[in-house]
Structure formats: structure tokens, C-alpha cells
Amino acid sequence: MALTKVSFGAAGIPGYEIGDKSLPAVILIQEWWGVTEIIKYQAEQLSKQGFRCLIPDLYKGKIGVDAEEASHLMNNLDFKNAVDELKQAVDYLQATGSPKVGATGFCMGGALA
């Protein structure tokens, strides 16, 4: 199974999803670089372990190409809004079939999880 682009919530928050909708879900939250290939790989690995995975794109497609830009993206992130978007991710996963939802993240994503 491959990652699929999705949008969820009232504002159509972008993200990536993988795994059967009936499985328990994990929200995988990006590090300060954004939704990189490494984050996508981690979602694929969780999927192979029997989880549905959703990666909300909190930067809406932007990627930090160096530490300065990644720092700028993270420092400009509205963390209160990001938490609201993660709550909408939970609602989306539950409404579309996942019986349980957890969250994990890396770096900045770990703080939000």
C-alpha cells in the first residue's frame, strides 16, 4: 500500500495517509523540516506493523531545506492552531473507521504529540 494525499477537517488540511481505514491509527507528526521523505518512510513502516497512518502537513507543503529555513518555519507555526488541526485529524480518523487513535512525532512533532 502506498501513501495517498488526503485533506481533512473543515479547512481541508493537507496530509498523507496509508493503511486500511478499519485499523487503529497513528497520527505521525513531522519534525521541524516538514513532511520529508523520512517522515513518509516512517509512516510506511508503521503501516507494515498493522496501523493506519496519517501525516498532517502542518506547513502546508513547505519544506525546510536548511536549518535556518526549518527554524523559520517552526518559529512561525501557530502552535495553538496546529493542536486544533491535530484534533481534527483525530476526528477524521475516527469518523472514517479507525477504532483507536494515537499520536507520535519527531523533534517538533514530539512536542505536539
Residue with cell 498493522: 50
The pLDDT tens digits for 72-99 are 999 999 999 999 999 999 999 999 999 9
* DSSP bridge pairs for 100: none
The pLDDT tens digits for 14-59 are 999 999 999 999 999 999 999 999 999 999 999 999 999 999 999 9
> What's the one-letter identity of residue 54?
L
* CA separation for the pair 95, 81 (Å, rounded): 21
Instruction: Answer yes or no: pTM beyond 0.85.
Output: yes
* CA separation for the pair 106, 113 (Å, rounded): 9
Helix (H, G, I), strand (E, B) or coil at 70: helix
User: Is the separation of the CB atoms in 109 and 35 below 8 Å?
Assistant: no
